Each structure stands twice: as C-alpha cells, then as structure tokens.
A and B are shown apart, each in its own frame.
Chain A
Amino acid sequence: MLKRLCLALVLLTSSALMTAPGRAMPLAVMADIPLGPAIPGESRYAGAVVRTVRGMIEYTRWPQHNDPLVLCVAGPTQHAGQIGSIRLSDGRRVDRRNVNATPGALGGCHILYLGNLAIALQRQLTEAVRGRGVLTIAEADPSNAAEAMFAFTYKPNGLSFRLNVDAVSRSGLRVDPRVLRLSQGGA
C-alpha cells in the first residue's frame, strides 16, 4: 500500500516537473479553508491566510536549512496583518520583512508575499526570483496572471488558493506532492 502510494507520488511529482516551461498550467482551486473567528480590526480572511501561508511554508523544502525564514511582503496588503506571527511545527521562526516592490529589493527573501500591486509589477517580481529558491504567494491576483506559485482566491465562506505547477517546477524549491495533490482537489 505504502509502496503504491510512493509510486503515485513519484509519478505525480515527475509529471509536475516535466511540465513544459512557459506554458500556463491548469490552475486548480482548493476548496474552503474555514475562516475561523473574526478578530476586531482585522480582515475576515486574515486568520485563514496566516494558516494557509504557514501550511505552504511547512510543505516547502528549501535547498538549504534556513532559520529563521525571511518572509518579504511587497506592496500594500489587506489580509496579511497576522503574518508576522508564524511559527513552524519544527520550531523555526518566520520573520516578516516589508520590502519595496522592486526586483532589486528581494535579496535574502525566502518567501515573497505579493500585496495589492499591478499585475505587470507582480510578474516582474516573480520573474526576478524564479529559480532562486523563493516561495511566491500572491494575495491579490485571483486569476494568477502574474504566475506566482500560489495565488489566493476568496469565497464568501472560505479561502482557496491556486497553484501554478509550472511556477512550482521552475522555482528551485520542492513542494510536497501532497500539497500539489491537495490543490488539485484531491483528484
């Protein structure tokens, strides 16, 4: 059983890695991450966003061990109020750092959180970090036109995200296949 599962994961991973570069992959949507209790003064999605970002970081492997991880926030954000409080299950810390939305300002970032920026700018930023081991998450690009690895979509009852398999495969990072699978709705 385990063996079969491993085989399935290998197939899944290899299929993800073998994707032709440049081509926009079908971007799957994950369903309904519950929003949790509302916190006064915060966006109603803030809790879900911080949990989801934490999960994304948990299931991503960097080529080197980094402690703390540097989470760079570019541009104004609506739901990232609690994002500086993330602590991973293995004890690593995640430090939030606000950066300028320019390609040159991204040195030392392990995670790039894109705020509410123009799509063209977002694309510039994702292209600047491509292949350099940076996890990219777009807060305000529901159609994922900027080709970040993950892009949030907002539903009335919950939070979802899209995953760009192409961006993942060219990021220089390893994302747990279970998350790939999860993003595809468990198919």
Chain B
Amino acid sequence: MPVKDDLPLPTLRDMLASAHLRLIMFAVLLATASLVLSGGLVIRNYAQRNLELVGRTVAYTVEPAVLFGDREAIRQGIVSVAAGRGIERVEVRDSAGQLLAEWQNPQQGALATLSRAANPVFWPNPAVDQVLRGEDHIAEVRIYGNSEGILRYGLAGTIIALACLGLTVIATRILARQLQSEVVRPLEHVAEVAHAVRRDRAFERRVPASGIAEIDRFGRDFNALLAELQGWHAGLTSENRELAWRASHDGLTGLGNRQMFETTLCGAIDHARRDGSALAVLYLDIDRFKAINDDHGHASGDAALVAVGERLRAAIRQNDLAFRLGGDEFAVLLAPTSGRDQAGMVVERIRQEMAQPFRLPSGVHIAARLSAGVAIFPEDGESGDALLRKADARMYRDKGRDLGSGVFVNA
C-alpha cells in the first residue's frame, strides 16, 4: 500500500478503534432509526384511535347540551373530555354547519409551536363523529390531532440514541485498547527480540508464547529462524577464531609464527622503549636438521620440529614467548627486564631439555642440538630487524662451535 512519507502510519489501535466505532455506530443508528420509526408508527396509530374515541366520547357527552342548545355546557363537556395531550382543537357544529362550541389547546412554548407546525403533516384530516338523537343528526364533532406526543417520542428517541452513541464511543475505545494490548503486545515482543538480535547479536533470545494462534505460529517460526541463525553465527565465530589462530600460529608445533613474532616484537620494543627497560630476543635453529630430514625422512623432520617446540615451551619461563619462524628456525622473546644473564640461563635450560633424545616415527631415538644467538634491546639494536639480524649472526657463530661450548651472547 503506498503511503505518503509525511503521514504517520496508523497504529493498529487506531484501526481497531475506527473499525469498531463504525460498526457500532451503524448498529446503533440502525436500531434507533428502526425503533423510532416503528414506535412512531405505533404511536401514530394509537393516537388516531385515541382521536376517534375522544370524538365518540365528546359526541356522547355533548349530546344533551346540543339538544338543549347550551353552548357553555357543550364547551365544558368538550373540556372535560378532550383537555389533555394529543388534541389540538375540537369543534362542534350543528347540522347546518354553524359552530356551536370550540376548544383550542392552550399550550404555549417552543414544543407547542413546533407541534403546530408539524400537525398538518401528522394529522392532515380531523377525526369526525356525528351527534345523533334517535334518527336526527343534530351536530358534528371534529377533533384535530396534536403531534406533540410523537415529537416528544422522536426527541426522546434522538436523545437516547445520542447517549447510546456516546456510551458506545467510550466502550469502543476501551475495547480497542484491550484488543490492542492483546494483539500488539505479542507483536511488540517479536519486534523487541528482532531488534535485540540485530543490535546486540543476542541470538539466544526467543519470542515468548502469546496465546493467539496466528502470532504463536509466527513466533515459533521466528524462534526456529533465530535458532538457525544462532547455529550459523556460532559456526562462523569459531571458524573465524580458528582462521585467526592459523594466521598467527605454526600448524605443526602450535607456536606463534613469524608474522606473530614480528608483531609481538614490535609491541614489546615499544613497550620497553616507553618504560626504559631492556628486552632480549633469542634466535635458534636445529643443527644438522637437513641431515635428519635426509636420513630419516620428512616425517622424522616434522617429529623433530614438534619435539623442539615442546621442549622450548617447557624450558622457557611463564612470561617468555616461543615462536617458529619457519623451517628449523625458532625464536624466543624473553620477558621484559630480561638481561644477558637471564638469557644465558634460558639458553642453558633449553640445551638441557634438548640433551634428552626423542623418538622418531621410525623408532630411532636421537638427540638434537640447537644453535642459539641472543640480542638485547637497546644495546644490540633499536629495531626488531636489527635485533633479529644480530641474534641471527650470533647464532651462526654459535653453530660454528663444537658441541658443549657456551652460547655467544656477546659480539
């Protein structure tokens, strides 16, 4: 449905209220109109019969007075019978058509004026009765009806209809409010959950049962959809986490890779520079690693790398970090405030760990030696590259030495 942008959409409550209002107004007006109309017709019929009866009664009452020719008595007879509501005018005429007596409703006021205006509509013809004495026709009585009663009825009907309409308008509003809270609250729950899911990724939220069949069905489907989304989201999250881990770690040994080493080293250098503290980098590789590969196969080379990784992890302190930079090259970032002495101790512990032979897949046990070089920040370089180059150079010098010799920690 096309809606103008500047017009606010109608709420469900407005729609319910206006629908109810129209329905009830239609019902009330229909009922009132038919009641007033049928009631008016019935009243009109009764009033007509009343006129005829009053005519008969007047004729009967005034008969002696007419016979005696007493006009005053005729008038009083009319008054005694006809005075009251529903009669506008009474005339008694003798057989020659001459007026003997008349009576006019004396009522004044707005209603009486209105009634007189309406009389020709409701009572176009008077009720006529003859005054007979034996066979003689001695006079004629004419009774003109008064529409005041019908007007009063119509007025009362209109007022009652208006009052009923007022009541129904109020009732409609209450009803609409109840309906709205019954229908809209479950929908608002759905909307609230959808919003929370979108904003806070709260995939664990669920729409509660509403007690309305259609909305419950909708809520169940919505909840099922949320469950699927939750599954997807969990899968994606763990996949992302694994990808991120793989991007920064070596798959074989589980140590950090070269990229993570560089990032970590950069951060550590910044930190040490700010604090004015020292920092040590250890560069290591496996002596004669190529020979292990060649003699025992690549699976054995991998086993050697895994063994070196495990032992490095075991040898370093809690705050030190070990990395595999690639091939058989490893690095250790020693915890801040580590000086040459601590570096030497860590290298010594690594050597001790490595002295234990490890088992290759082929069942052979061998021991491997690591060459190691140390560089200290800031003496050996201000940047990561410089430190790494220094440590690398020292490691190569170490590799030239015989087994058992000390590690080069100085240039």
Question: Which residues of A pack against B, CB within 8 Å?
Answer: 1-2, 5, 30-34, 48, 51-52, 54-55, 58-59, 88-91, 176, 178-179, 182, 185-187
Contact = CB atoms under 8 A, between A and B. Distances in A.
Interface stretch (B130-138, B143-151, B243-251, B396-404): B130-138
Nearest to A51: B69
A176 B56 CA distance: 17
Interface in B60-118: 60-61, 63-65, 67-73, 76-77, 79-81
Contacts of B79: 186
B60 A5 contact: yes
A186 B64 contact: no
A72 to B, nearest CB: 22
Contacts of B69: 33-34, 48, 51
A1 B50 contact: yes
B64 A59 contact: yes
Interface of B: 50, 53-54, 56-57, 60-61, 63-65, 67-73, 76-77, 79-81, 133-136
Given A1-B50, A1-B53, A31-B73, A182 B60 contact: no
A112 B71 CA distance: 27
A178 B54 contact: no
Given A2-B53, A89-B133, A186-B80, A55 B68 contact: yes
Contact of A88 (B54, B56, B60, B134): B134
B45 to A, nearest CB: 15
B134 A30 contact: no
A185 B76 contact: yes
Given A1-B50, A55-B68, A58-B133, 16 more contacts: A2-B57, A5-B61, A30-B73, A31-B73, A51-B68, A51-B69, A52-B68, A55-B67, A89-B133, A89-B135, A91-B134, A182-B65, A182-B70, A186-B72, A186-B73, A186-B76
Contacts of A176: 64
A32 B70 contact: yes
Closest 8 CB pairs of A and B: A186-B76, A89-B134, A90-B134, A89-B133, A1-B53, A55-B68, A55-B67, A31-B72
B234 to A, nearest CB: 94
A72 B43 CA distance: 56
B292 to A, nearest CB: 136
A1 B79 CA distance: 15
27 contacts: A1-B50, A2-B56, A5-B61, A30-B68, A30-B70, A31-B70, A32-B70, A33-B70, A34-B71, A51-B67, A51-B68, A55-B64, A58-B64, A59-B64, A59-B67, A89-B136, A90-B135, A176-B64, A178-B60, A178-B61, A178-B63, A178-B64, A182-B64, A182-B68, A186-B76, A186-B77, A186-B79
